[in-house]
Structure 1
Amino acid sequence: MYRSGAVMAWNVFKFCTALRGLGSIMILLVLGVVGVTYYALVLCNYGPALTSGGLDSLIAVLVLIIFHSLLGMLLWSYFSVVFTDPGGVPPNYRPLVDQERGEIDPLEASEFGPLTTPDPTNARIRYCRKCNQLKPPRCHHCSVCGRCVLKMDHHCVWVVNCVGALNYKYFLLFLFYTFLETMVVTLALLPHFLAFFSDEDIPGSPSTLATTFLAFVLNLAFALSVFGFLIMHISLVSANTTTIEAYEKKATPKWRYDLGRKRNFEQVFGTVQRYWFIPAYSDEDLRRMPALQGLEYPSKPDLDAQEF
């Protein structure tokens, strides 16, 4: 029985290794979908319509402006997720100590019960047996990355990276702009898609028509799937939790990090409104909001007091 369990664990880690190699392919797939969409919308349909004159030209200008604006924000957000480290545990990390009580700060305690720690007499300290190091609050080990990630939400194959404390906002913006972009493309190509089923002669070469058809189907599929993920993550942000925590805190009736929707939102997006819709933070927020750095998180005082 033990041997089969060991083989199963070995196979899981081999699968995690395969996911790392798959990630590069997924980036090419994303860029491929963007390329097909750009060719169908801009080069085949609305680009040529610019010279038509009248209402058609006006609509083409409007569609192209919206499309390129959203595409720029989508790519900016996407590559911000890809190239931003989600946050790792600093070398020689130690939990904060309450000087008055001489105990570990409640924010550094285990949120979900006792864990195996280097000191069996203090089960409040979170410890990773795989990394052999202490873990900050809300930190989890990623088997794909092979390390602990601050406020880990999940490992995303589409971005070849973990989604954690330092790039979660960028991931949400990527979902947001992807949904808007795919919806705009779907609506813009809808008349051309419906033309396939009409008795009218459709202008364009067979390859142009096939690309338009494919772009419409791909963008509609992405719009519907991303919408579901976007709704799920909106609910997570409103409760100040992550995908992993939402599953684990089922046994916890009261969530200490739920500070109200407004403050929960600010814990991810910051307080400066002009930065809310771009993948960046203001220097002011980075200085005065430790939660954006992934190591310290404010919590409800009444729930902290109940632990003592």
Structure 2
Amino acid sequence: MHRSGVVMAWNVFKLCTALRALGSIMILLVLAIVGVTYYSVVLTTYGPAVFHGGLETLLAFFVLILFHGLLVMLLWSYFSTVLTDPGGVPLNWRPVYDEETGVADPLTATEFGATPSDEEGRSIRFCRKCNQLKPPRCHHCSVCGRCVLKMDHHCVWVVNCVGALNYKYFLLFLFYTFLETTLVSLSLLQHFIAFFGDGEISGSPGTLATTFLSFVLNLAFALSVMGFLIMHISLVAGNRTTIEAYEKRTAPKWRYDLGRRRNFEQVFGTDKRYWFVPAYSEEDIRRIPALQGLEYPSKPDLDGQELYQ
């Protein structure tokens, strides 16, 4: 039994090392997909169509303007997610009061064992790997090797953890990726159908192959990202992370669920001008503690109660 535990730990370590090694490779892969798509849509299909005249020119202008606008937002959101620290525990952090007191948190129990208590005997979450106290909703990432505030998951596509400080940017990345890949799929659909027709198709073999590849890749991403986007929309509506939805699925009530509007504001802020850009207003950062990842309002009637079966 002990031997199998050692083997499992070693395998997990190898997996984490492999994920870290992907790093720039995943970023290059994303840029390569963008490059192939840009070549197919702009340089070989709708760019030349601008000079054809009539309705074809109007359609080409519409597709190109929308394509470039969504591409800018997609890349802005993507690199904001990649480059923004998801949030780490401040040095010598101490809780003002414990927001998860008296709760048999399955993640705490299985990963960290017994937890220390404060002066009133309330449970305080503690990470034995980082050797530090853990704020509410904070979890340890084995890939990053540290605790991450309001950790949702570690994403290989953004080569970063998705946590309190970049979760909005990740959601916008999914949103604009879905819109962009859907636009590309619809724009190239007629060319994809032409591959299986009896008529002649203009263009070199390389151009045709690139267009075919772009359509297949973008359609696949549109369908897969749509599923992730729907899942995360439901998580935001209930004020849960992916980890919380999985580890605490037996909870009859969730103390941080303050209603859809307030749950949404804890991720996107209250300033509507910033809802669709990867940034926050200074007023929202000042007024909404949840955006900093250390404090989260909860339902008063659920404070201190046992929430897990």
Please give the residue correspondences for 1:149-188 in structure 2 after superposition, counting only pairs within 5 Å.
Answer: 149-188=148-187
Could you say which residue in structure 2 is the equivalent of 1:14? 14
Structure 2: how far apart are the matches of 1:120 and 1:132? 17
Shifted more, 40-49 versus 123-132: the winner is: 123-132
Q: Is 1:77 matched up with 2:112?
A: no
Structure 1: how far apart are the matches of 2:152 and 2:94? 23
Please give the residue correspondences for 1:5-154 in structure 2 after superposition, counting only pairs within 5 Å.
Answer: 5-96=5-96, 104-106=97-99, 112=105, 115-119=113-117, 122=121, 124-154=123-153
Please give the residue correspondences for 1:160-239 in structure 2 after superposition, counting only pairs within 5 Å.
Answer: 160-239=159-238
Question: Any unmatched runs of 5+ in structure 1?
Answer: 97-103
CA offsets, 1:87-145, max 9 Å, x none?
0000000010xxxxxxx343677572665224599461000011000000000000000
The residue identity in structure 1 corresponding to 2:156 is: V
Structure 1: how far apart are the matches of 2:102 and 2:46? 57
Would you say the 8 A contact 1:153–1:243 is kept in 2? yes
The residue identity in structure 2 corresponding to 1:167 is: N
Would you say the 8 A contact 2:152–2:242 is kept in 1? yes
Give the 3 Å change call, closer, same or farther, for CA 110–125 of structure 1 in structure 2.
farther
Shifted more, 254-263 versus 11-20: the winner is: 11-20
The residue identity in structure 1 corresponding to 2:251 is: T
Structure 1: how far apart are the matches of 2:103 and 2:63? 51
Give the 3 Å change call, closer, same or farther, for CA 123–132 of structure 1 in structure 2.
farther
Would you say the 8 A contact 2:100–2:124 is kept in 1? no
Would you say the 8 A contact 1:137–1:295 is kept in 2? yes
Structure 1: how far apart are the matches of 2:245 and 2:105? 12
Structure 2: how far apart are the matches of 1:109 and 1:95? 15
Structure 2: how far apart are the matches of 1:25 and 1:162? 16
Would you say the 8 A contact 2:102–2:123 is kept in 1? yes
The residue identity in structure 1 corresponding to 2:180 is: E
Structure 2: how far apart are the matches of 1:108 and 1:117? 11
Give me the TM-score of the superposition, normalised by structure 1.
0.94
Structure 1: how far apart are the matches of 2:103 and 2:171? 27
Question: Any unmatched runs of 5+ in structure 2?
Answer: none
Structure 2: how far apart are the matches of 1:29 and 1:116? 43
Structure 1: how far apart are the matches of 2:235 and 2:70? 24
Structure 1: how far apart are the matches of 2:137 and 2:277? 25
Give the 3 Å change call, closer, same or farther, for CA 181–134 of structure 1 in structure 2.
same
Give me the TM-score of the superposition, normalised by structure 2.
0.94
Would you say the 8 A contact 2:154–2:161 is kept in 1? yes
Shifted more, 11-20 versus 110-119: the winner is: 110-119
The residue identity in structure 2 corresponding to 1:152 is: M
Structure 2: how far apart are the matches of 1:231 and 1:80? 21
Structure 2: how far apart are the matches of 1:111 and 1:144? 26
CA offsets, 1:167-190, max 9 Å, x none?
000000000000000000000001
Structure 2: how far apart are the matches of 1:282 and 1:132? 34
Give the 3 Å change call, closer, same or farther, for CA 268–92 of structure 1 in structure 2.
same
The residue identity in structure 1 corresponding to 2:92 is: N
Identical positions, percent:
76
Structure 2: how far apart are the matches of 1:111 and 1:155? 25
Instruction: Give 3-state SS (helix, strand or coil) of 2:161's partner.
Output: strand
Shifted more, 17-26 versus 33-42: the winner is: 17-26
Structure 2: how far apart are the matches of 1:148 and 1:105? 17
Structure 2: how far apart are the matches of 1:199 and 1:82? 45
Structure 1: how far apart are the matches of 2:254 and 2:105? 10
Would you say the 8 A contact 1:89–1:150 is kept in 2? yes
Structure 2: how far apart are the matches of 1:283 and 1:108? 32
CA offsets, 1:224-263, max 9 Å, x none?
0000000000000000000000011122210000000000
Question: Aligned residues, how many?
Answer: 301
Shifted more, 256-265 versus 118-127: the winner is: 118-127
Instruction: Give 3-state SS (helix, strand or coil) of 2:105's partner.
Output: coil
Structure 1: how far apart are the matches of 2:42 and 2:55? 17
> What's the Cα RMSD here?
1.7
